[in-house]
Amino acid sequence: MHQVRRLGVVLAFALASVSSVALAGFRSSTRTVVWTGGAIGTLADARSAPGTTGYIGCTAVAYSGGSYVACAAQDAYGVYASCWSQNPQYASLVSSMTANSQLYFLVNATTGQCDYLEVQNYSYYAPVEP
C-alpha cells in the first residue's frame, strides 16, 4: 500500500514536470508580411491566418535541363510577391525547410529572381497544423 502511494507521488511529479516542460519555451507568432519586394513569414502562421488567401512557401524543381526554385507569398489582402532562381544553393535551402520554418525572400524587381533567401528552423516557430 505504501509502495502504491509512493508510485502515485512519483507519477504525479513526473506528469507535472512534463506539463511544465510543455508550457516552457518561447513561442513566436507573427503574421505573414508581403510587399512587392519580398515576403517574410512562417508556414504555420500563414496557414492559420484568418481569411483564405494567405500563404507562403517555395517550390523546388529538378528537370533534365537543370534545377529551379520558386518562392511565393500572399497576404490576407491579396498582396503578392514571388521570385525564382536557378542557383543550386537556393534549392538546397528550400530542401532544408520544415514544418517549423520561417521563410524570408527578397525579389529583384527587374528579373524577378530571388536576391535573397533565408530559411529559419527554430523551435519557437509553430509547426504547421492541419
Partner 1 sequence: MRSPKAMLTVCLTVLVALPIGFSLGKIDRDRDKHGEARECEPQAPQAVAAAGLDGKTLRRLLREELRAERALAENDVERANPPSDEAEAKTEQADEAMERADQLVEAALREKRWTRSDDLALRQLFASLDAEQVADLSSRLFPAMNRGEIKPLHLNQ
Which residues of this chain interact with partner 1, rule CB under 8 A? 36, 55, 61, 63-66, 68, 70, 72, 74, 80-84, 86, 107, 109-113
Which lies closer to partner 1 via its Cβ, residue 35 or residue 120?
A: 35
Which lies closer to partner 1 via its Cβ, residue 34 or residue 97?
A: 34
Q: In whole angstroms, how close is the CB of 111 to partner 1 at the nearest point? A: 5
Q: In whole angstroms, how close is the CB of 66 to partner 1 at the nearest point? A: 4
Residues 6+ away with beta carbon under 8 Å from 108: 83, 114, 115
Residue (of 95, 87, 96) closest to 116 by Cα position: 87
Which lies closer to partner 1 via its Cβ, residue 3 or residue 64?
A: 64
The length of the chain in residues reads 130
Q: In whole angstroms, how close is the CB of 128 to partner 1 at the nearest point? A: 16
Q: In whole angstroms, how close is the CB of 98 to partner 1 at the nearest point? A: 22
Residue (of 32, 41, 90, 33) closest to 61 by Cα position: 90
Which lies closer to partner 1 via its Cβ, residue 113 or residue 120?
A: 113
Helix spans in 38-117 (H) = 43-48, 88-95
Distance CA 60, CA 92 (A): 9
